[in-house]
Structure 1
Amino acid sequence: MKLNSVAGLVAATAGVVQATASSDDSLAIFAKRRTADLAQFPDPTWFSKIDSWLSSQKADGTWSDVNYLSGCPAQRANWPIQEHWNRLITLGAAWSGTNPAVSSSQAKDPKLLAAVQKGLNYLFSNDYTSADCMGDGGDATKGCPCGTPGLWNTNWYDQAILIPQLCSTACLLVKDANLTETQRAGCERIPNRAYALRDGTYGTGGKMTGANVVLIMQNSVTLALFTDNSTILADSMTRAMAEMTFTDTPGADGIHRDGTFLQHDGVLYNGNYGKDLLNAFIQLESEAIGTSFAADNDTRAAMSTYVKGDEWLIYTDSQTKTEHWDFNAIGRFVSFPTVDLQASADINFNVSKLAAATADFQGQYAVNDTIRRLLSNGTQKLTGNRGFWASDYMVHRRSNFMLTNKMISTRSANSESVNGANPYAYHMGHGTLYSYVKGNEYKDIMGAWDWNLVPGTTTLLNQPKLQASQVKYYGLKDFVGVVSDGAFGAAVEDYVDPLTQNLSYRKSWFYVDEGVIVITTDIKKNATAGNTPVVTVLDNRAADSTRALVKSGFVGQQGEQHLTTDTLYYANNGYLAYDTPFQLTLSQGKRSGNWSEISTSTQGVETVDIFSAYTTIKGNSFTYGFFPSISSVKLLKELVDPTWIPITKNGISGIYGKGRASLAFWPGGAKSVKLDLRELGWSSKAETLTFTSDQPALYLLSAQKKDKKGLHLTVTLADPTQKLAAASYSIKLSGQRYKVREVDGRSEGLEKRGDGSIGFGVKLPAGGLAGSSISSEVVLELN
């Protein structure tokens, strides 16, 4: 059973004091609030099972339907013994009388307390004694080899975080009871073991970072309240709040200034470890309001940025009205079905409690709009484009769809396989492109889908061989990144297969109102790749009731089909090939897979209906458009009269049209590109704008004609390498005389160059903002 979140401020404590409490009062304030808080830990349905648990508990304090397997044979992830603790917490919450949803008749019921004490006696009498069991259990060279007596797990997390959380929770709920000396000692010993190592290492867990620091300190606060230790309380709160600030080291665990959360050295994890940190913040800040431990401005800045960033990563299943995390943001937890209540099941934090915890976040720290939209369960839309430079990730949202794009670089990793979960996820994050229209496109299919066909990726078909030892990789190139003006965006990935180096290419995604234009150039295979085809996966998703449609008509509904076509239309999503036709392989039908093969899930074999489509690329470049939630009629119109004109030449990729241009200047490529002003809609005459970038970079250009002679041009740029201190570009118009002047004064230099162009110098963001976008506005005055 999944460990519930222990977060939030209950109604009974909502009206807490506004003035800052003295340090002497903080302990009492915390104890009152946390006890009421922890009483809400149990799932409400658990309270109805109390009578059954009381009658079925054995004399030694155990239950016959709980799996107590410990040591080396025990399940590493989601250790089943936590069910025993969950029952004690439920009994303790009812006994405490602090959960308003529980009948007051159960408060201080001696039968409940007796059951809790019996359960504690079993756990404490079977506690491990060797310090090496904390993080080195099962290591034959240490003091806790397989067969060592006691309740321990080979996963350090259980001794350091999970069991201390459960133990401290159960104990605080019955703190006021007449516990025995042995019981009080056990209540203190288990969480204190983790707290005592706060400046050291946890065996195979190493030194704690990111969310894990906060979780240990969260448990240590409960320990402090149980033992009335104000020193531990102050230390734990200080450490927790300090961890909930920005980290500016590329790839480091923690909150980054773009709003993403990385854990396990560069893996995007907003939806799991970041969510855990958020739940800890909700609990700690709710309890700290009015005390000296409330979040300072450094923590407010980071948590505000993180919460606002989270919203971009969340979509809503239109059928269930449940909010979910983008699959790019939950790492190895894509390998669990929703029924297992892991990160794929829900956002797993309480938005109302978040609102209470941030009620006094004002001005630049305010998150009211985000909370309002999250509470609407998708009825109030977040739209626009956001680039996450710290994680090489982009999200593009319109009112009827959401696209998410994850890449890898020398600064970021793709995914991971840990504790038996996610063994086939090598291709995850290698240019992944998920699309959400209904929100159920990828629900519960990973157990059976083809892991070689991750949506959006370009790869050698069925290579490499997928295995748990070959999942997590950083990219090999640094020209990977994003640029965004808030409404439109672009992403680039200079890619070399990080495992085999058998395949390389340069891929760019240009996000527009209709969806995204994807351009892949410089595709190269080395000799060891042989005749293995290069493919781009258009999608791999739950099948829809509709039939696939190509330009020539409908496609057979079941089985595998091979087609050459310019268009594909499926489930109201359209795909358009620009330069050469698709060489499609379509497959629709039932596939079976075993969830227990890819995770610790016990759901076993499941059969689902899946649709997949990929195109084989025979040349060294390919361009296609992906237009979610489009009509088939509009798709055909795009084929005849494209809204966007792709650019694929001389080391420059881009698109232009409809008043905008998006450009990627690749390392070693040309520095200038000519754009047709008439095609852009910026002029009625056959004139050109030559745009020159003096260094590899990403640009977005948009213009609005303010008057008959002045064209206001906004230039947004970013440095994907995150290494440049400054950048420069120039603009030149043909066909008439003109002047160029700057509006906002952000350029470091404005110069007239020898070729007649006007050059601009721009100071680029640095530190934790390196790689982010910067915009300037110039006016083209036509004479």
Structure 2
Amino acid sequence: MMTCFRRLFFLILTLIISSSCSDTSTNNSAKGSYPESLVQLQENVLKYYVNLKAADRVIEDLLPNLEEDGSWSNIDYTNKIRGGWPVKNHLKYVQTLAINYKNETSKYYLDKNLSKKIHKSLNFWLDNDFLSTNWHDQHIGVPELLLPILFLMEEELSQQQLDKSSILLHRAKIKMSGQNKVWLSTNVMLRSLLLRKPDSVAIASKAIQNELQIAKGVGVKLDWSYHEHGAQMQFGNYGLSYLEDMIKCYTFVSNTPFKFEANKIEFLRNIILKGQQWVIWNDTYDVSASGRQLFENEQTKKANRLKACIQSMKMLDKDNAKVYNEALDAKTLAGNKHFWKSDFQVHRRKNFYFSVKMSSERVVGTESVNKENVQGYYLGDGVSLLSTTGKEYENIFPFWDWKKLPGTTIIQDKDPLPIIKFSGFKTNSVFVGGVSNGENGIAVMDYNRDGLKAKKSWFMFDDKIICLGSRISTNANHQVVTSINQSFLKGSVVIGKDGVLETSVRRKRGFTPDWVLHNNIGYLFPKGGNANLSTQILEGSWNKVAKRYRPVILTEHIFKLWLSHDAQPKNESYSYILVPNASEEKMKSLHKSNPFKIVNTKVQQSVVSSDEKKAGIVFYKKGTTTIKGGISVDAPCVILLEEKSGYLDFAISDPSQKLTKIGVSIKGNYSIENSNYKNGKTHFVIHLPQGEQAGKTVQLQFKRN
């Protein structure tokens, strides 16, 4: 009997001790001192968030809206909108209060009354566990906002608060890829830090750093563009968040056992210098690089976010401070870059910025998710944006005619635009891409969509962009137009024709100008064309762009210039030249001098400068051009030629990204490896990049013998 009693006694005692150890482990997991391996990491995290202090007046503006129950009077907690879920503002407000509460320079530093309000508002969220209809908020957004509050207020948190928080935090798990994986892994790393789990911190930190590599799927591509939601350029949406979070994590783990390796830091540097900095100019982020986020003031906000990233890298990667200083002065970057993985090309100089965004069977043009970018059906169809001030397209989206986007050739039917999902938006175009020698470039799009076909190309030579279109054809019984530009009206419009100037034009249809000038941008028409001009006051609403906005009607003067090709066009064509930083005198001179020789047919488009030092050819099929005395190719391709001192710079690419080699013949005797000279021509074969590098420019230098 005694033996049984003893056994029962020891069994109960064991269970009590086991239970006690378990509870103690739970309590110590987010209380007490940090393990030695986590001390510096915790200090880095706390310092990072404390340094995000807001002006005290922000706190003063927030507090009157805080209710007795811990809710905020200016938040509708029943809102279930998927994009930009406003209920998360609750946690943003609490975080702002907590940051100033822990910052010694704030008048609210360790203010007991503010502490009570923070706890009350934190408890309101923890007790209600508000949920949106978007998985992103539960797994990424809420933990991301909650974690800083917990670190800042950790010394004052009850076990009950920690337990309730833990439920919310454990929704984040390391999975997915690209920026989604970075978001989730960062949440897991900080949660593991809070729970004093060094092994889990190490796993999460490794998962984050593993995304700092060239991705075959979503993520950073070999040309330093960024893809998410398939083969879709997402520089300013996921790509910018990716850069910000990587720099944040770099800051967190500095001088800890989890710090970034040197090659990962170099990778971050290249993301900025070879990728992101190309799409910011004059404090404005390129619309075409922004993804679906066409929101109010978004181009300025994105530019500021990128500049903040560059500033942070300047402090963290101190040995390379000089290159970051140069990147902060965006006008120092001049040249041409073709992002062959994204069907996107940028051409920029000190006093202007130009980009062309295309799409193909390979590359998705854009998306509409969470009722954002609901008008953007044609945003990947050759949208060509030229800026000399950075303000030409700032907040223009409510007023845009979305079937006349700059640079596009589009059927003008009356049907509403389809809402695009990220999984399905591609044109039927195969021959889409470009060539670049670093200074100048050519973009080409053998357009094929919704029954409309057109061969479109952009020759970016120094300070001018020559835009060509040929074989524009469709059976659709609607007018087809090529939009040249659509921007805010600034000042008067001048039309030049046969030496006569027409000024202050408000509206004009079916005219044939020599040139048009508006807001220091000139439009030269070497072959005339059926031009149309409008400078009307237009009504618009942000609600037609993104449904998060209320349908408030706004008005603006909008400059629109386009070419008409009538209904059911067959083999129509166009040519115009964009001239940034133009004047009346400059346009008169250009019209008189005819600065380029242009060929614009269904099989070939080419441009040669008047001094014949620069030339570009788009071969839509194998053939011969008379340029440089005769150049022949045995397959479709794009070639850019520039006469340099002592040699000919030769750049070539395969926009289809399907060829392995191209045979080329050029008149004259040139010194080219593995070539042969016969019948007055040099014959050679270009072996093209394959795999992930398919579509990349091959650049060679030929010396004349």
TM-score w.r.t. structure 1 length?
Answer: 0.80
Distance 2:64 2:353 in 1: 51
Equivalences for 1:587-598 in 2 at 5 Å? Answer: 587-598=534-545
Q: Identify the match of residue 520 of structure 1 among 450, 469, 473.
A: 469
In the aligned structure 2, how far is the partner of 1:278 from the partner of 1:705?
A: 40
| Letter matched to residue 420 of structure 1 | K
Q: Which residue of 2 aligns with 1:624?
A: 576
Distance 2:630 2:393 in 1: 43
Return the offset for 1:777.
1.2
Kept in 2, the 8 Å contact 1:447–1:598? The answer is yes
CA, structure 1 residues 511+764, in 2 after alignment: closer, same or farther (shift >3 Å)?
A: same
3-state SS in 1 of match to 2:59: helix
Q: Distance in 2 between matches of 1:350 and 1:705?
A: 40
Q: Does 1:582 align with 2:529?
A: yes
Which ranges of structure 1 fall in alignment gaps of 5 or more residues?
Answer: 1-22, 128-150, 200-207, 317-322, 361-365, 678-688, 707-711, 734-738
Q: Which residue of 1 is the match for residue 96 of structure 2?
A: 90
Match of 2:633 in 1: 693
Q: Higher mean Cα deviation, 338-347 or 50-59? A: 338-347
Which AA in structure 2 matches 1:691?
A: I
CA distance in 1, matches of 2:634, 2:257: 52
Counterpart residue identity of residue 172, structure 1:
F
Match of 2:196 among 228, 233, 248: 228
CA contact (8 A) 2:44 2:253 kept: no
Shift of 1:690: 1.3
> What is the alpha-carbon distance in structure 1 between the residues aligned to residue 554 and residue 300 of structure 2?
17
- Of residues 15, 19, 42, the one that matches 1:31 is 42
Residue 272 of structure 2 contacts residue 310 of structure 2 at CA under 8 Å; is this kept in 1?
no
SS at match of 1:176: helix
CA offset digits 1:667-706 (Å, max 9, x no partner): xx2421112x5xxxxxxxxxxx211122211111112353
What is the CA deviation profile of residues 583-604 of structure 1, one whole-angstrom value per residue up to 9, with x for unaligned ones?
Answer: 1111112111111232113483
Would you say 1:58 and 2:67 are equivalent positions? yes
Matches within 5 A, 1:635-714: 635-649=587-601, 651-657=603-609, 658=611, 659-666=613-620, 669-675=621-627, 689-706=629-646, 712-714=647-649
CA RMSD of aligned residues (A): 2.4
Say if 2:167 is the partner of 1:189: yes
Matched, 1:382 2:341: no
* Equivalent-residue separation in structure 1 for 2:132 and 2:680 (angstroms): 71
* Per-residue Cα deviation, 1:362-393 (whole angstroms, up to 9, x for no partner): xxxx5742x213433x4x42111111111101
Return the match for 1:217 from 178, 181, 185.
Answer: 185
Give the structure with higher Rg (CA): 2
Q: Which residue of 1 aligns with 2:314?
A: 355
Paired with 1:190 and 1:632, the residues of 2 have a C-alpha distance of 63
TM-score with structure 2 setting the length:
0.89
Tell me, yes or no, if the aligned pair for 1:259 and 1:305 is still in contact at 8 Å. yes
Residue by residue over 1:314-341, the C-alpha shift from the partner in whole angstroms, topping out at 9 and shown as x without a partner, is 011xxxxxx221000112212x211898
| Residue 241 (structure 1) aligns with | 209
* 1:477 aligns to 2:429 (yes or no): yes
- Partner of 2:170, secondary structure, is helix
The one-letter amino acid paired with 1:228 is R
Deviations 1:388-407, CA, capped at 9 Å, x for gaps: 11110111011211101000
Take 2:517 and 2:460, find their aligned partners in 1: how far apart are those partners? 19
Tell me how far apart the structure 2 counterparts of residues 417 and 235 of structure 1 sit (CA, whole Å). 34
1:681 counterpart residue number: none
Q: How does 1:392-431 map to 2 (within 5 A)?
A: 392-431=343-382
Aligned residues: 661
State, as a whole percentage, how many aligned pairs show the same letter. 25
Aligned to 1:444, what secondary structure does the other structure show? coil
Contact kept? 2:366, 2:420, Cα under 8 Å: no
Question: Does the CA contact (< 8 Å) of 2:619 and 2:636 recur in 1?
Answer: yes
Map Cα deviations across residues 243-288 of structure 1 (whole Å, 9 max, x no partner): 121113xxx3211121211222233221121110111011111222
Among 275, 278, 287, the alignment partner of 1:327 is: 287
Partner of 2:315: helix, strand, or coil?
Answer: helix
Partner of 1:295: 260
Q: Give the direction of change, closer, same or farther, for the CA distance of 1:292–1:698 in structure 2 (3 Å limit).
A: farther
* Greater Cα offset, 756-765 or 690-699: 756-765
Show the counterpart of 1:545: 491
With over 3 angstroms needed to count, the CA separation of the structure-2 counterparts of 1:515 and 1:31, relative to structure 1, is: same
Q: Offset at 1:741?
A: 1.1
Q: Which residue of 1 aligns with 2:222?
A: 257
Asked whether the 8 Å contact 1:275–1:348 carries over to 2, the reply is no
- The partner residue of 2:115 within 113, 116, 125 is 113
Name the amino acid aligned to 2:619.
F
**Aligned: 1:268 with 2:233:** yes
8 Å contact kept, 2:287–2:299: no
Give the counterpart letter for 2:256 in structure 1: T
1:169 is aligned to 2:99: no
CA contact (8 A) 1:67 1:81 kept: yes
Question: CA–CA distance in 2 between the matches of 1:728 and 1:715?
Answer: 14
Aligned to 1:204: none
Match in the other structure for 2:278:
312
Deviation at 1:731, TM superposition (A): 1.2
Structure 2 residue identity aligned to 1:604: V
Aligned-partner SS, 1:509: strand
Distance 1:519 1:325 in 2: 26
Higher mean C-alpha displacement, 401-410 vs 559-568: 559-568
1 CA distance for matches of 2:702 and 2:60? 73
Deviation at 1:38, TM superposition (A): 1.5
Aligned pairs for 1:110-149 (under 5 A) are 110-127=112-129
Q: Indicate conservation of the 8 Å contact 2:471/2:602, yes or no.
A: no
* Cα drift, residue 650 of structure 1: 6.3
Q: 1:340 and 1:726, CA in 2 relative to 1: closer, same or farther beyond 3 A?
A: closer
Deviations 1:524-582 (A, max 9, x none): 213xx02x222111100011112232324225543454422232221121112223x12
Asked if the contact 1:567/1:582 (under 8 Å) is kept, the reply is no
Offset from partner CA, 1:198-255 (integer Å, 9 cap, x none): 34xxxxxxxx33211111112222212211111221111111111121113xxx3211
- Is the CA contact (8 Å cut-off) linking 1:282 and 1:354 kept in structure 2? yes
Give me the whole-angstrom Cα distance separating, in 2, the residues matched to 1:469 and 1:310.
25
Q: Is 1:453 equivalent to 2:404 in the alignment?
A: yes
Contact 1:514 1:627 in 2 (8 A): yes
Provide closer, same or farther for how the CA distance between residues 281 and 592 of structure 1 changes in structure 2, counting only shifts above 3 A.
same
Letter in 2 for 1:489: G
Deviation at 1:621, TM superposition (A): 2.0
SS at match of 2:536: strand
The whole-number CA distance in structure 2 between the counterparts of 1:312 and 1:705 is: 28
Q: Which amino acid aligns with 1:40?
A: N
Q: What's the secondary structure of 2:433's corresponding residue?
A: strand
The separation in 1 between residues aligned to 2:306 and 2:151, in whole angstroms, is 27
Contact 1:426 1:470 in 2 (8 A): no
